[in-house]
Structure 1
Amino acid sequence: MNIRQAVSPPKAGPLRGKEMSSLEIKHDVNIAIEEGKISYIGREYVEAYQYIDGSQLVVMPGFVDCHTHIPFVGSRSSEFIMRLSGKSYMDIMRAGGGIISTVKEVRKASATSILADSLSSLDSMLSLGVTTVEGKSGYGLDKENELKQLKVLRALDSIHPVDVVPTFLGAHAVTDEYGSPEEFLDLMAGIFDDLVELTDTIDIFCENGVFDEALSRQYLMKAQKKGFKVKLHADELSSSGGGRLAVELGAVSADHLISADNETLVLLAESETVATLLPGTSFFLNEPFAKGRKLIDLGAIVAIASDFNPGSCNIFNPFFIIFLAVSRCGLSVEEAINAYTANSAKALCLEKEKGMLEVGYDADMVLIRAEDYSEIVYNFSRDLVEGVIKNGNRVR
């Protein structure tokens, strides 16, 4: 009741260009919730069985983290030290570290232990206002363990308050047990029929030295023929053609884009593909940051997400990710909020139910102790969250 500021994107995603710099801000309003949905926003008094005093609070939609690598187990802290001594991401991967080291841990682990670790991560994310996440497989790299990860994601969605959206990332890396990338992708494509009850989206790590543009195209076209939506890890470590391919195939999103060339940025801006920026990864790897300012100025649909994973970005705090988007990628505070709510919901095809404070939308909200929403960037390292509401229930 009597909320100091109710802050929301002005409309459902996708927002692009100048739209991204606008927020709908309402002062001294009440928000009513019924059956997990927002049922009223306004200044009239509403009868309820429970009230929350919002007079000292900024209320925003729950953050939608549209790119994480939950579920996983194990630590790769030793690789962080290796990078500090000058080793690159690809150097570590070629030496048997990187993704492959987590694959070994996931293959050894039971589904129960993977579930337990992931529940702990989701608890922490929820306490920071993240109410929806995408989780990816990709640490199994064989049929048994890829399906194990996807089943864990299904279980997480059923038992944890956070909504968990699963994506199949079997095409994440190639282990030594396979003769070639082509052979491996044929194996992964052979799993597609087993995925129908577990996910509707296929992802691939399109990168020089992993799966090049031509192989990625063949693989994703097979997925589309089976009725799956597609997305790509694109142009992360090099300008590998992933962003161009995402536009060509009408992908839901192209993620990373650190190394995307100007032609790719223009193509993305003229498309319906969401350009998802992951500034935490650039920070964690000490790499350049994606050209967020240019993408927005060109008119692209820009989202931001954490890329939370054990190797290249052990970060899931949305306030820190927003700080990086503003201070390193050139976004305004307003653009970053829209990118982590309405546009990130669009990246998960959930724009009609999440990412806004609007009647009929899911009652997913983060309650922030602040005088103004802009303080979330200045005070990103503080404990700002007074409470989190998920599906109408106060969960913190």
Structure 2
Amino acid sequence: MSDRSFLIDNIGSLVTNDPELGEGALGLVEDAALVVEDGLVAWAGPRARMPEGAARERWDAGGRAVTPGFVDSHAHLVFAGDRSREFEARMSGRPYTAGGIRTTVAATRAATDEQLRDNVRRLVTEALRSGTTTVESKSGYGLTVEDEERSLRVAAEHTDEVTYLGAHVVPPEYMGKPDAYVELVCGAMLDACAPHSRWIDVFCERGAFDGDQTRAILTAGKERGLVPRVHAGQLGPGPGVAVAVELGAASADHVTHLRDTDVEALASSDTVATLLPGAEFSTRSPYPDARRLLDAGATVALATDCNPGSSYTTNVPFCIALAVRDMNMTPAEALWAATLGGARALRRTDVGHLAVGARADLVLLDAPSHLHLAYRPGVPLVNQVWKNGTPVLR
């Protein structure tokens, strides 16, 4: 944590995500300033009300926008290998299935710890450059006790938000014996992986794990102190959302295909609906209807799903643009989902907003407003990023 005290002055538009500080759900403050002390937000508001002598160092935002750092609550960063040929084939008409995961499993098992470490470092740095200051990362490309455990150890070197996903798919050596693999995931693999994890996840989908298997795995994880998350409804309707809500999961992710009962369950629970438009973009699949979830009252998060097969991007602004263009979200809703929504999906209160006491994770845009994140898709608008009050771009 930084011990510096500084002021960001002359902010054209400040997104705080605190309605008590500014307008609407984004808590938008025009002609604003923000004071950071010891890595935390000490004051935020209109420049006209800025406290005198609050900070020794001054940054001039030059009339540009400042937002909270993006919170990417769903990513798969520990892997090896390349699946660009699979992407090429998909763009030529081959449909997406979960089977390609096994290609990455083989490459990941063959990689050294240092190769995995280098790849995670590269992706975290790439994400940081585009404004992501908090990222979750899963295992799921090892699928042996040893490879899942080392994947989680590597992930934990770069983030506190580490998820055990031994139940990604059934590996080749267990084909035809899914119950035996579930027993491993709930037993020796969980024993090895729980000490390195905060979360437990299951790919509840045809071709992966059914509702009963998902429930058994998540229940075993809860007994070891891990909090559930669920891959649900990516390829078609299924039991994933119902199981997630039943077990108090922090999030149900993808949720592309939802029944009315699923929407109602999410809206009446604390389980966040995490939308991953990068996956739909990269698989030419139908986008989820965020409007349906928002209008029902569900909490919605937006994340990248960065992985080598179906969404190889770390860029949250790209996902914001997709959400606005193809998922019926407003620019404000998409930004909120990619910041405070992601924090809710990770059950974090210290990130995703810029109220007093929040972690000083900030993004300075080369734009006068957050609207430009969707208005100018593909343009590198991030000028500076602060994490824990420390500037990280040079």
TM-score by length of structure 1 reads 0.92
Q: Which residue of 1 aligns with 2:389?
A: 392
Q: Which moved more, 1:263-272 or 1:143-152?
A: 263-272
Q: Which moved more, 1:78-87 or 1:226-235?
A: 78-87
Shift of 1:274: 0.3
| Rounded Cα–Cα distance in structure 2 between residues aligned with 1:63 and 1:312 | 21
Any conservation in 1 of the 2:33–2:44 contact (CA below 8 Å)? yes
Q: Which residue of 2 aligns with 1:247?
A: 245
Identity of aligned residues (%): 38
- Aligned counterpart for 1:3 among listed residues 11, 24, 35: 11
Shift of 1:71: 1.5
Give the letter aligned to residue 330 of structure 1: N
Superposed CA offset, 1:344-396 (max 9, x none) = 1011111x100001111100000002122212211122121110011111111
Q: How many pairs does the alignment contain?
A: 377
Q: Which residue of 2 aligns with 1:35?
A: 38
Q: How does 1:219-230 map to 2 (within 5 A)?
A: 219-230=217-228
Q: Which residue of 1 aligns with 2:108?
A: 106
Superposed CA offset, 1:101-128 (max 9, x none) = 1111111111111111111111111011
Gaps of 5+ in 2: 1-8
Q: Which residue of 2 aligns with 1:78?
A: 85
Shift of 1:35: 1.4
SS in 2 for 1:38: strand
SS in 2 for 1:296: helix
Superposed CA offset, 1:186-217 (max 9, x none) = 10111223334311210000001210112111
**Larger RCO: 1 or 2 (CA < 8 Å, sep 6+):** 1
Shift of 1:21: 6.5
| Rounded Cα–Cα distance in structure 1 between residues aligned with 2:392 and 2:274 | 28
| Rounded Cα–Cα distance in structure 1 between residues aligned with 2:170 and 2:221 | 19
Superposed CA offset, 1:128-177 (max 9, x none) = 110000000000000000011001011223xxxxxx51000000011221
Q: Which residue of 1 aligns with 2:169?
A: 173
Cα-Cα RMSD:
1.6
Any conservation in 1 of the 2:109–2:147 contact (CA below 8 Å)? yes
Runs of 4+ with deviation above 4 angstroms: none
SS in 2 for 1:122: helix
Q: Which moved more, 1:305-314 or 1:71-80?
A: 71-80
SS in 1 for 2:368: coil
TM-score by length of structure 2 reads 0.92
| Rounded Cα–Cα distance in structure 2 between residues aligned with 1:22 and 1:390 | 23
Give the letter aligned to residue 57 of structure 1: R
Q: Which residue of 1 aligns with 2:367?
A: 370
For the pair 1:89 / 2:91, whether they are aligned, the reply is no
| Rounded Cα–Cα distance in structure 2 between residues aligned with 1:176 and 1:384 | 43
CA distance 1:56–1:2, change in 2 (3 Å): closer
For the pair 1:231 / 2:229, whether they are aligned, the reply is yes
Q: How does 1:109-188 map to 2 (within 5 A)?
A: 109-157=111-159, 164-178=160-174, 179-188=176-185
Any conservation in 1 of the 2:83–2:308 contact (CA below 8 Å)? yes
